[in-house]
Structure 1
Amino acid sequence: MQTEQELRVDLAATFRLIYEMDMHESVANHLSAAVSADGKQFLMNRRWMHFSNVTASNLQLLDSEDYSIMQTDQAPDASAWSIHGNMHALLPKAKVILHLHSTYATVLSTLKNPRILPIDNNTARFFERIAYDESFGGIATSDAEGKRIVDSLAGKNALMMGNHGITVTGATIAEAFEDLYYLEKACKTMVLAYSTGQPLNTLSHELARQTAESWDEFRGQSFAHFEQQKAMLDKKGSSYRE
């Protein structure tokens, strides 16, 4: 298990990479990583902190069972507390939680049918491995809405949030980042394929499942990709490690 400082550095790098990939949104959206075995203590970006300004040291350490923080001037964003606080409290296996309104995922989430269909390798990666929440109730600021979103995951590692965006969970930052990266690519493929107006050539159920399972053999690439992306940030002289 990584130390808290290692988690801080990797999570801060993830904010910067998402900024570099233009998947951020104003000073909104949140990423978090558990530092305790039960997942209840976690790191998250501070309220209204732009992704390009997040560093290892300015990440906030929170406890999902300590609601008193919400009554102070250090309170995190209410929607972040609703979603991430409940997920870390109720899903100890979800060590890392990445919630974004990235462009293509959000576009797909607004369709009457937001399903990611298996039409290539990247879309098939998520075949039967992503949950869909089509009960959007506005900005998630209540405890009840946070718990409803947790239930919507239904044991999956990724959630397409209808009319909202996406949430990805993972055991490590590198693996969650990789799923997020490929999920946005899969959504882009879907949106562009739909835009042609041509019928989609969808893979058979058997082939789609086989392709999804084949991705498990490449889980190691998550760590290679993440480390090389961090090296790219270092070459640019990024301050994320501070």
Structure 2
Amino acid sequence: MHTQLDTIPSLKGKVSDEEWQLRVDLAAAYRLIAHYGWDDLIFTHLSVRVPGPEHRFLINPFGAMFDEITASSLVKIDVHGEKVDDSPFPVNPAGFTIHSAIHEAREDAQCVMHTHTTEGVAVAAHSEGLLPISQQSLFPLSSLAYHDYEGIAVREDEKARLVSDLGTANYMILRNHGLLTCAPTVADALLAMFILQRSCEIQVAALAGNRPLTPVPQPIIDKIQSEGDKVTSSQGGLLAWPGLLRKLDRIDSSYRN
């Protein structure tokens, strides 16, 4: 990128307090995705909706590695993926196709995360999809959708089918493609992705063992959501989020710039 992300002037105080907090949280999420090794060079996206009637969103500057993204370098775009501010950084409108479809259709999907991890794509290639073979898998299975692969997701006509397949689910496996989570907050979407990703890692490892697997009975899967709320004291991702930010701050706090 021609402009260094860490040399741009801070937008703190130049945007609303709400937007600034979202910028810090989304930048943190990009750094965490990189920290856990879930990034795919500069590809895939995490997006969050900015409060207000204009339907504006924050997304990564295209070409930046996830571990160098900062709050001020995030680009504000419209529902078509076009820049609406004077950011010096480019965006990839085609990469926002999946995100814009979900943001438009789901008022609760304030944050949308999409990854191409090895384990996620591997499970997306399994004909059975995600198997109920771990405690971790039961949380996604309580709200999981699938979308068949139609090629690189850049066509407008695919949006309606993707939204229809997602329905009210908060987790999605894009067949032969990767993983997706959506939630009202960045913290909730990140926790959902952590659990979905870990479920896929366990499944790939279990299948590699070449031994019969023990599935969890359906009645237990059906009641896992209420039990999950107890695990997080009904705080969802917010329970782990402060600790994740402290972890990032110990490593490199420049995401806050």
Fold conserved between structures, TM > 0.5: yes
Q: Which residue of 2 aligns with 1:128?
A: 142
Q: Given the alignment of the two structures, is residue 86 of structure 1 paired with residue 101 of structure 2, yes or no?
A: yes
Alignment deviations for residues 37-61 of structure 1 (CA, whole Å, 9 cap, x no partner) = 5682111112222101110001011
Q: Is the 8 A contact 2:114 2:179 kept in 1?
A: yes
Identity in percent: 27
**SS of alignment partner, residue 126 of structure 1:** helix
In structure 2, runs of 5+ residues without a counterpart are: 1-16
**Alignment map for 1:73-152 (pairs within 5 Å):** 76-114=91-129, 116-133=130-147, 135-152=148-165
Q: Is the 8 A contact 2:111 2:183 kept in 1?
A: yes
Q: Which residue of 2 aligns with 1:63?
A: 78
Q: Given the alignment of the two structures, is residue 53 of structure 1 paired with residue 68 of structure 2, yes or no?
A: yes
Partner Cα separation in structure 1 for residue 97 and residue 27 of structure 2: 21
Higher mean alpha-carbon deviation, 39-48 vs 157-166, is at 39-48
Partner Cα separation in structure 2 for residue 223 and residue 39 of structure 1: 27
Alignment deviations for residues 84-120 of structure 1 (CA, whole Å, 9 cap, x no partner) = 1222222221000001112211111012222x22222
Alignment deviations for residues 166-200 of structure 1 (CA, whole Å, 9 cap, x no partner) = 11000111111101001101111111111112121
State the structure with bigger RCO (CA 8 A, min sep 6), 1 or 2.
1
**SS of alignment partner, residue 146 of structure 2:** strand
**SS of alignment partner, residue 239 of structure 1:** helix
**SS of alignment partner, residue 223 of structure 2:** helix
Higher mean alpha-carbon deviation, 198-207 vs 81-90, is at 81-90
Q: Which residue of 2 aligns with 1:199?
A: 212
Question: RMSD of aligned C-alpha atoms?
Answer: 2.2
Q: Which residue of 2 aligns with 1:176?
A: 189
In structure 1, runs of 5+ residues without a counterpart are: none
Q: Is the 8 A contact 2:47 2:58 kept in 1?
A: yes
Displacement of 1:164: 0.1
Q: Which residue of 2 aligns with 1:190?
A: 203
Q: Given the alignment of the two structures, is residue 156 of structure 1 paired with residue 146 of structure 2, yes or no?
A: no
